[in-house]
Amino acid sequence: MLIFESAAVAADQRWTVSGTGHKAPGFETYARQAAIARGLLRAGGSPALVEADDVELLAVLSRAHTLEYLTFLSETNARLPAGALHLPHRWSAPGVRPDTPVHKDTWPEAFEGARVALAAARAVADGEKAAYGLCRPPGHHAGPAWAGGYCYLNNAAIAALTLSSGQHIPGVLDLDFHVGNGTAAILSRARNVPYFSVHASTLLHYPWQNELEGIGAYNCVEFSEPPSADGYLAAVSSMVSKLVDHGVDTLVLSMGFDTVEGDPHGSWCLEPAIYAAIAAVAARPGWPVCVLQEGGYRLEVLTECAEHFGRGLIGPLHPEGRSASRWAS
């Protein structure tokens, strides 16, 4: 498993806006990225050099997002005073209160996060069985022309659209606590990459809406109450089976660790050890897997969650290496 991580460190998100419209502390920080990286390395992952061409990245971004939105991120924000945070009221998902501020360096930080996603997708396209894009900021709430939920550019869509341009038939599985409303909207318009998700109630949690573009009873399992471990794994398995039925041969996995008990943005009771089983189920068909980091904000357990996930992913994809020293703790 190759681990792609940007050398540029995005600023910590100081605040966000809650579902009630009040300013709340932000939990999207570099500390979470570092904690996840430690777990992936302990699982046997190998750091990889992020190499992705600006021209190629801009081309795939233009397929995921509107030109007007990209211009807003890249040019308008650059004129903000240093240190200033601004809520982009025009650039929020339809019917969703703006919650994610932008700042002077939002574009270069999000652009480098997107470069990580492109590099991970390229590694899988070139034959790697598993690549982990440790993206910051995350991406699955960023839609064709909107930001939200800590997200500005959609990393999963970037990876999926990149893979669909080659010899692969990708599909996206989103296993964050929250639905990837941005990814679903982008891919429903692209129409050549299926999106599937297991998530908490979209009415009770972000984005606090019942009906979302690209989301329906067929392509998601939604839990209105915290699921048991067995119930959650069964839901993941059902989504994997549907992706296989679609003819998918490469998985883009939007991975959130905010389904763990005690996450400040979640409300479920899953234990860190479940992530090994989640990874094994997701990798069960034997397809290459491109993982993109989404949520996960309970800092004290993130290393453990990531290590379990990494070991669960490496096992099915490299069964001959389970007892080899490379995978030993």
Query: How would you label 143-156 residue by residue, b for 16+ Cβ within 10 Å and e otherwise?
Result: bbbbbbbbbbbbbb
d(Cα 33, Cα 39) in Å, to the nearest integer? 10
- State the amino acid at position 177 in one-letter form: F
Measured CA to CA in angstroms, residue 66 lies from 60, 63, 69, 123, 153 at distances of: 11, 8, 5, 26, 11
Q: Which residue is catalytic, options 65, 103, 141, 199?
A: 141
Active site (annotated) includes residue 141: yes
H-assigned helices in the chain: 30-42, 54-64, 67-71, 106-125, 155-164, 181-190, 229-245, 274-283, 299-317
d(Cα 37, Cα 23) in Å, to the nearest integer? 29
Count of other CB atoms within 10 angstroms of residue 84: 11
d(Cα 130, Cα 108) in Å, to the nearest integer? 27
d(Cα 28, Cα 185) in Å, to the nearest integer? 23
d(Cα 312, Cα 244) in Å, to the nearest integer? 20
d(Cα 147, Cα 22) in Å, to the nearest integer? 18
Closest CA to 136 of 35, 275, 10, 246: 10
String of DSSP letters for 35-86: HHHHHHHHTT-EEE-----HHHHHHHHHHHS-HHHHHIIIIIGGGSPTT--B
Count of other CB atoms within 10 angstroms of residue 207: 23
Judge contact between 140 and 174, C-beta under 8 A.
yes
Residues catalogued as catalytic: 141
